[in-house]
Amino acid sequence: MEKVGGEKDRKILLSEDIIAKVESFRNQRTAGKEDLFFELCFCIMAANTSAELGIRMQKTLGKEPFLHYDQMDLRNALKMARYRFYNTRSAYIYNSRWIIDELPSIVNQMDPWEAREYLVNGVYGIGYKEASHFLRNVGVFDFAILDKHILKSLRSSFEVEIPKTLTGKKYLEIERKFIELSRSYGMQPGVLDLILWKEETGTVLK
């Protein structure tokens, strides 16, 4: 894969693993409501930790605790699995189950920008980054997931000024620049995000 950066008319070659990941995300749009909520839980768990840890929690615990355990049992399951934020994240997940029935229509019928605002304003533990992450992972590529790796790439390769504290307002300001950048390369923001993430980490996860 050719490295992103340099001249604006430079071509970006999508590697096979990124093409496959994009297709797998698109396929998730038709997933059932419980699978969609399981992915939302992944994004809650990955916040301020890592995608690797979120994936490990999913593999270790499976769907059942996130969908059906009461809050204390979910807390204990996360603690036993050595998840650091077992108190707060178990509460976030337990108190967000009301959205399960709505998720298919949020993903497939709602305007993407309205869907993200709905998630940010209504779901515990979900900010702009987490909502964007969830929507990208279920096939909505309109947004940037501005985690530390993407911010590092924007700072070093594209000379975007990054503040020390990323408020909601600042997130949206930087995201607008990211969207402009993605359009200059003729691709959706969520796809460029994957490319930059791979360049910074050497992996393609979710």
Q: Within this chain, do residues 189 and 94 fall inside the same structural domain, yes or no?
A: no
**In-domain check, residue 1:** no
**In-domain check, residue 178:** yes
Domain ranges, residue 117: 27-137
**In-domain check, residue 11:** no
Q: Within this chain, do residues 84 and 115 fall inside the same structural domain, yes or no?
A: yes
pLDDT score of 11? 58
pLDDT score of 127? 96
pLDDT score of 201? 92
**In-domain check, residue 9:** no
Distance CA 19, CA 91 (A): 36
Total count of domains within the chain: 2
- Burial code (b: 16+ CB inside 10 Å, e: under 16) for 82-100 equals ebebbeebbbbbbebeebb
Distance CA 36, CA 134 (A): 9
Q: Within this chain, do residues 40 and 20 fall inside the same structural domain, yes or no?
A: no
Q: Within this chain, do residues 34 and 133 fall inside the same structural domain, yes or no?
A: yes
Q: Within this chain, do residues 180 and 90 fall inside the same structural domain, yes or no?
A: no
Q: Within this chain, do residues 41 and 98 fall inside the same structural domain, yes or no?
A: yes
Residue at a domain's end among 116, 137, 158: 137
Q: Within this chain, do residues 21 and 33 fall inside the same structural domain, yes or no?
A: no
CATH code, domain with 167: 1.10.1670.10
Q: What is the mean pLDDT of each run of 10 residues along the chain (206 residues)?
A: 43 84 95 98 95 96 97 98 97 98 98 98 96 98 95 88 90 95 94 94 91
CATH code, domain with 79: 1.10.340.30
- Planar angle of CA 110, 167, 131, nearest 5 degrees: 25
**In-domain check, residue 126:** yes
Q: Within this chain, do residues 59 and 149 fall inside the same structural domain, yes or no?
A: no
Q: Within this chain, do residues 20 and 78 fall inside the same structural domain, yes or no?
A: no
Q: Within this chain, do residues 128 and 31 fall inside the same structural domain, yes or no?
A: yes
Q: How many angstroms separate the Cα of 129 from the Cα of each of 42, 132, 147, 168, 204?
A: 13, 5, 7, 9, 18
Q: What is the pTM of this model?
A: 0.92
**In-domain check, residue 36:** yes
Q: Within this chain, do residues 132 and 154 fall inside the same structural domain, yes or no?
A: no
pLDDT score of 158? 84
Q: Within this chain, do residues 64 and 152 fall inside the same structural domain, yes or no?
A: no
**In-domain check, residue 125:** yes
**Which residues participate in catalysis according to the annotation?**
129, 147
Residue at a domain's end among 89, 122, 137: 137
**In-domain check, residue 4:** no
CB within 8 Å of 8: residues ≥ 6 apart: 184, 185
Radius of gyration over alpha carbons of the chain, in Å? 17
